[in-house]
Amino acid sequence: MKLAGQVALVTGGSRGIGRATALVFAAEGADFAFCHLDDGTKADETASEIRALGRRAMHRSVDVVDVAASRAFAGEVAAALGPIDILFNNAGMNIRKRFEDYTEADYDRILDVHMKGMFFMAQAVYPAMAARGRGCIVNVASQRGLKGAVNSAPYCAAKAAIIGFTRALACEAAPKGVRVNAVAPGPIVTDLTATMAPEDRQAFIDALPVHRFGRPEEIAATVLLLAGPDGAFYVGATLSPNGGDVMY
């Protein structure tokens, strides 16, 4: 198994891409901890599925914007499961509005969840990884950070910032044995895309070369590549499984 004996921490792990990644990692031998935001029922279900694969699992409700809570959770995971080998920074959200309709509160929440939450969760696990001389951090960006989109200006800005953050941290971390990369998914069947207006959703599907949205499991496979031994030569990279929405 590619992740045998390792400990992974995932933000936003109770459903969607986080849940799919949890199950792939557990199947590959990793013990698993994840946080969510007041999603206890789904979190319990995900944890049960991980344990059914023979791995240890734990979860907590943590708002990643709360830096002290994120640090405390990372410390709790390390104490309960052992040193954290992999961080998958997956937590995210969006508020869709016209640019002129966004409030300061909207902007702050979107940027804080994506950038502040990601930055300080990485900071919570990075020193121990660097001290051990090994570790892996995978950040979730988006194809919208590569191409932009209507009614999502703060979200697109945050996702583009994540790509820059990933590259910067990778430069510092690689000499210390810690690899940092990003995955930039295209449209995936998740709760986030379920909030799209039906006509917008269908127009998006029609425009994609593959004529469908992706599955969370398809993104989990990319995360496994970046986190596992097969991704050892990826440093500061952004892989974008997006069904042809962005070609570069």
Q: How far apart are CA 19 and CA 246, in angstroms?
A: 25
The pairing of strands 57-61 and 86-89 is unpaired
* Count of CB atoms situated within 10 Å of the CB of 19: 26
Contact 28, 1 (CB under 8 A): yes
- Contact call for residues 241 and 235 (beta carbons, < 8 A): no
> How many residues in total does the chain contain?
248
Annotated active-site positions, please? 155
